[in-house]
C-alpha cells in the first residue's frame, strides 16, 4: 500500500479529466500530442491525463513524461462483473492514477459512499493512486457537518495514500469557480481532518486565468481540470502558469 510520506515532496499535480470526450480516437490522439508537445519542458509539474477507458491503451504508447489516469475503476480485480474495468487491468496498462467518486458518477451512476470506499481500497491495494473527489453542498457550511464527512472519517482510517480533490458542485462545469478564499478554507478544513501531508487538489471551472491562484494563494497541491483540458492550448497555459507559481 502507498504511504502518505510518498507525497510530501510531491510536484504540483495537474490532472486532466477528459470525461466522455472526444468522440473519436483521431481527436484523442491529436489532443494528447498537442498537450505532450506543449508541456514537454516543464519539469516541476506532474501532468496526468485521464481519457475515456477506450483510448487509454491507444495513447499510452505515445507516452512521454505525461502520466495516465482512469476516470473510474471497479472494486474487484476480476470476475463476473459485466462492463467493469478493474484496478489490476489499469495497473497492467501502465496507468498510475484513478479518479474515484466524481460527482458526475454519483449523479448519473448513483455511486454511493460505500461503493466509493471499496473502489479506493481496491485501487490502493494494487498500487494505483486514487484521486477521491469530495464536495460541499451549499446547505452545509462546515466540513464537520458535511454529508460527505463519512468519507473523510473512513479515509482517515483506511486510505493513507489517496489524493483528495475538493470539487464544489456549484463550480463543476458551470464557469463559476469557487472563490480562492473559500477554496482555501476548505483545503485547510480537509487537511485538519486528515493529515497535514495529504495532497489536496482543487477542481471546478479551472482555467488559465485562475489556475495559479488556487496553487499559490489557496495552497492546493494541484488541480483537477475538466472542460479546459479539452482545449490543448488552454490546458498548456494552465500547466505553465502553475509551473510559475
Ligand atoms: P470543470 O470540471 O473543470 O469542467 O469544471 C472539473 C471536474 O469535473 O473534475
- What average pLDDT does the segment 208-232 reach? 97
Among residues 46, 104, 151, 167, which one is catalytic? Answer: 167
First to last CA, the chain: 31
Identify the band that residue 160 occupies on the pLDDT scale cut at 50, 70 and 90. Answer: low
41 Cβ contact list (under 8 Å, min separation 6): none
Task: Give pLDDT tens digits for 179-218.
Answer: 999 999 988 888 877 766 789 999 999 999 999 999 999 9
Would you call 84 a catalytic residue per the annotation? no
Q: How remote is the CA of residue 192 from the centroid of ligand 1, in Å?
A: 25
- C-alpha separations of 77 from 85, 90, 113 in Å: 8, 10, 19
- What average pLDDT does the segment 19-41 reach? 96
* Number of the ligand 1 atom closest to the C-alpha atom of 17: 9
Task: Give pLDDT tens digits for 85-133.
Answer: 999 999 999 999 999 999 999 999 999 878 888 898 899 889 999 998 9
pLDDT of 140 reads 30
Structural domains of the chain sorted by starting position, each given as residue range(s) with its CATH number in brackets? 12-244 (3.20.20.70)
With cell 473519436, the residue in question is 24
The per-residue b/e assignment along 48-83, b for 16 or more CB within 10 angstroms, e otherwise, is: bbbbbbebbeebeeeeeebbbbbbbbbbeeeeeeee
pLDDT at 137 > cutoff 60:
no
- What average pLDDT does the segment 75-93 reach? 97
Measured between alpha carbons, how far is 161 from 155 in angstroms, rounded to an integer?
A: 9
238, 8 in Cβ contact below 8 A?
no
Measured between alpha carbons, how far is 47 from 43 in angstroms, rounded to an integer?
A: 10
pLDDT of 121 reads 85
Identify the band that residue 239 occupies on the pLDDT scale cut at 50, 70 and 90. Answer: very high
pLDDT at 221 > cutoff 70:
yes
- pTM for the structure as a whole: 0.89
With cell 463476473, the residue in question is 80
pLDDT at 22 > cutoff 70:
yes
Q: Which residue has the CA at smallest separation from atom 6 of ligand 1?
A: 226
117, 86 in Cβ contact below 8 A?
no
Percent of the chain topping pLDDT 70:
84
Measured between alpha carbons, how far is 173 from 150 in angstroms, rounded to an integer?
A: 25
Amino acid at each position: 500500500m502507498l504511504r502518505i510520506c510518498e507525497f510530501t515532496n510531491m510536484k504540483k499535480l495537474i490532472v486532466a479529466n477528459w470525461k466522455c470526450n472526444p468522440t473519436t480516437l483521431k481527436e484523442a490522439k491529436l489532443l494528447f500530442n498537442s498537450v505532450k508537445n506543449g508541456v514537454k519542458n516543464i519539469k516541476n509539474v506532474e501532468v496526468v491525463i485521464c481519457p475515456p477507458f477506450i483510448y487509454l491503451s491507444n495513447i499510452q504508447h505515445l507516452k512521454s513524461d505525461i502520466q495516465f489516469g482512469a476516470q473510474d475503476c471497479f472494486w474487484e480485480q476480476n470476475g463476473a462483473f459485466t462492463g467493469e474495468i478493474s484496478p489490476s487491468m489499469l495497473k497492467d496498462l501502465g496507468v498510475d492514477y484513478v479518479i474515484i467518486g466524481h460527482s458526475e458518477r454519483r449523479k448519473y451512476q448513483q455511486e454511493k459512499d460505500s461503493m466509493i470506499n471499496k473502489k479506493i481500497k481496491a485501487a490502493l491495494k494494487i498500487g494505483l493512486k486514487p484521486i477521491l473527489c469530495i464536495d460541499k453542498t451549499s446547505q452545509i457550511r462546515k466540513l464537520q457537518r458535511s454529508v460527505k464527512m463519512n468519507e473523510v472519517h473512513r479515509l482517515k482510517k483506511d486510505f493513507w495514500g489517496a489524493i483528495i480533490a475538493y470539487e464544489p458542485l456549484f463550480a463543476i462545469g458551470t464557469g463559476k469557480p469557487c472563490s480562492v478564499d473559500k477554496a482555501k478554507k476548505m483545503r485547510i478544513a480537509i487537511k485538519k481532518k486528515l493529515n497535514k501531508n495529504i495532497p489536496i487538489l482543487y477542481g471546478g471551472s479551472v482555467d488559465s486565468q485562475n489556475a495559479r491562484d488556487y496553487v499559490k494563494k489557496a495552497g492546493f497541491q494541484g488541480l483537477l481540470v475538466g472542460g479546459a483540458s479539452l482545449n490543448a492550448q488552454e490546458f498548456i497555459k494552465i500547466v505553465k502558469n502553475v509551473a510559475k507559481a
